[in-house]
Amino acid sequence: MAYLYHSYVETLAKRFVANLSTVEAEHNFEFGPEFEIVLCKTLRSALPDRIGIARGYVVSQDSAIAGDDIVLFERSRFPTLMLRDHGDFARKEYIPAEATYCYIEAKHTLNLIGDDGQSLTYACNQVGKVKELLSKREKLPPSQIVPNFVLSHDMKVTTPENFPDHRNPAFTAIFAKQVRRKKGESEIADANQISSILKNTGMPASSHPPDIIVLGQNVIVFPKVPTGQGDGARVSSPFYVPDLSMYHISIVDSIAFGIGLIAIMWATDWIQLGVMPWSNIIADALRLPLTGTK
C-alpha cells in the first residue's frame, strides 16, 4: 500500500524499527534508557534542526520539575539548563517550561493493566504531571503570531477548529516498543488482542491526558472528534482536547511509530512558544524584586 509523500510515514516507521534493531544487536537491551536513546536518535533524523531533543526533565521558573524521559524544545531561542552538548542523549538535561514543545514517555514494555512503573496508568500519570506543570505557563492568545508580537485587538484571530484555544499548549505522547496485558506475562504480538484489552479496560482517568499513545508497531491511540453524524469521527488535530476529543484505537500495518512521529511534527509545527522571563532571571541573580511578582 502506498502512502502520501512517497510513503513518508512508512519510511519513518522503517527507520525507527531499523534503529531499534541496530541497538538490540549491539547491546541486547531490555529496558528503557536504550529505547529512549533510539527514539531520540530517530526524532533527530526526522525533526527540523530548530527543535532540540533531550532526555530529562521540564523545569518551571520556580524550579518545579516533572517528567524524566524525552523532552522536545525550541533550541534556536532557548537554552538548556545543564548546557550539555547537542546529541548527548546518554545524560539527562533540564529544559525550561517556556522552551518545551512536547514530552514523550517512552516504555520498552508497557503493561496495559496495573499501576506498576511500566504500566499505562503510570505512564499517563507521568505525562499528566508534565502537562499540569506546563499548563501553568502563561497562555499565549491566537493573536500572538510570533514571539513578542501580538496583533491588535480589533483583528479577530482564532485557532483552527478542534485545536486548543491558545498557541502554546503542551503536546504529550506515550511510545511503547512492545505491550503485555500485565506485569509478569508474555508480550502480546497480536494487534487485535492489544486493541481488545485496551477497549475493555479503558483509558486511565486523568485531568491531563496524553495526546497520542503508540503501542508497538501496529496499534496507535489517536484523538478524533465526533462529526455529529451517527458514530462518525474525523482526525482534525493532533491534540486531545478535553470535552471535545475522544480516543480512537487504530490497528495499522507496521506504521504506528511513523504515525506517532508525524503527529509530533504536526503539533510542534503549530505550537508557538513564548519567551523566557529574562528580566526575572537577572533580577533574581541581583537579589532585586522580580518583575511582575507581588
Instruction: Write out the chain's pLDDT in tens, 294 residues.
Output: 678 888 999 999 998 888 878 876 665 655 568 888 888 988 888 889 999 999 999 999 999 999 999 999 999 888 788 877 777 788 899 999 999 999 999 999 999 999 999 999 999 999 999 999 999 999 988 877 666 666 666 667 778 889 999 999 999 999 999 999 999 999 999 999 999 999 999 999 888 999 999 999 999 999 998 876 666 678 889 999 998 999 999 999 999 999 999 999 999 999 999 888 888 889 989 999 876 543
Distance in angstroms (rounded) separating the CA atoms of residues 151 and 158: 12
SS3 label, residue 114: coil
Direct distance between the N- and C-terminal alpha carbons of the chain, in angstroms, rounded to an integer:
60
Confidence at residue 186, expressed as pLDDT on a 0 to 100 scale: 96
Q: Specify whether the CB–CB gap between 42 and 62 falls below 8 A.
A: no
Domain ranges within the chain, ordered by starting residue = 4-285
What's the full length of the chain, in residues? 294
The three cell numbers locating residue 89? 542523549
The three cell numbers locating residue 288? 532585586
Q: If you count DSSP H runs as helices and E runs as strands, how many of each does the chain have, helices first?
A: 6, 13
pTM: 0.91
Decide the pairing of beta strands 70-74 and 51-59: antiparallel
SS3 label, residue 98: helix
Q: Return phi, psi of residue 27, to 5°.
A: -125, -10
Quickly list H helices, 78-165.
Answer: 120-134
Confidence at residue 221, expressed as pLDDT on a 0 to 100 scale: 97
Confidence at residue 294, expressed as pLDDT on a 0 to 100 scale: 38
